[in-house]
Amino acid sequence: MTTIFLLTLSFSLFAQDKIVGYYRDYFGSQIQINADSTFKYTWHFDLSASWTKGTWSFKKDTLYFHMIPTYDTITDKNKDGTSADKLILSVNDTSERLSSKQLADMGLPSGGQNFYPCPDKLFFKKGRLYGIQNGRLVVKKQKGFWTKKKWRPWFFKNDD
C-alpha cells in the first residue's frame, strides 16, 4: 500500500514539473504556471490589458485554474453623512483603500483584473495547453484579428 502511494505521489510530482513554466498563444494571452501551484494569466491587445492571479490544480491531463481576486475598498459618503464601504476588483495586484474621488481620477480603465477572463481549465498534452469547448479540445486554427492568417489556438511553452 505504501509503495503504491509513493509511486502515485512521484508520478504526480513529475507531471507538475513538466507543466511548470511560461506559456503563450498567438492571441495575446500568457500564463505563468509556478511550482507552488500559483499562476498569473495576462492578456494584452492594443491598449487593452487584463490579468488574473490564483492557484491551479492538475487532475489526470487537465489543469484547473482558480482565481483569487484582489479587491480595493471604496469608501462612499451617504446623504445622511454615514460612510459605506464597497469592494471592487483592483486594477493592480495591491489591495488599497480608495476614496470615490481617487477612483474617479483613475478614469475609465481599458482593462484590469479579469477584464478578459482566464480559462477555467486547459488540457495538457505534449507540452501544450489546449482549450476545451463543449467537451472537445480546441485544435482548429483560428483567424487572427485584422488578418486572414490562421493561427494555432493552443498555448505553447515559451521560457524566454
pLDDT tens, N- to C-terminus, the chain (160 residues)? 554 444 444 444 445 678 999 999 999 999 999 999 999 999 988 888 899 999 999 999 999 999 999 999 998 888 898 888 889 888 888 888 988 788 777 776 777 888 888 999 999 999 999 999 998 999 999 887 777 888 999 999 987 6
Please report the pLDDT score of residue 92 as a whole number: 83
Residues 6+ apart with CB under 8 A from 160: 22
d(CA 154, CA 160): 18
Please report the pLDDT score of residue 113 as a whole number: 85
Please report the pLDDT score of residue 18 as a whole number: 87
2-68+121-157 to CATH, choices 2.40.128, 2.40.50, 3.40.50, 2.60.40: 2.40.128
Please report the pLDDT score of residue 147 as a whole number: 79
Please report the pLDDT score of residue 114 as a whole number: 86
**What pTM did the predictor assign?**
0.80
Q: Domain locations in the chain?
A: 2-68+121-157, 71-105
DSSP H helical segments within the chain, as ranges?
Answer: 2-19, 100-105
Which grid cell is 54?
A: 490564483
Please report the pLDDT score of residue 10 as a whole number: 40
Please report the pLDDT score of residue 16 as a whole number: 67
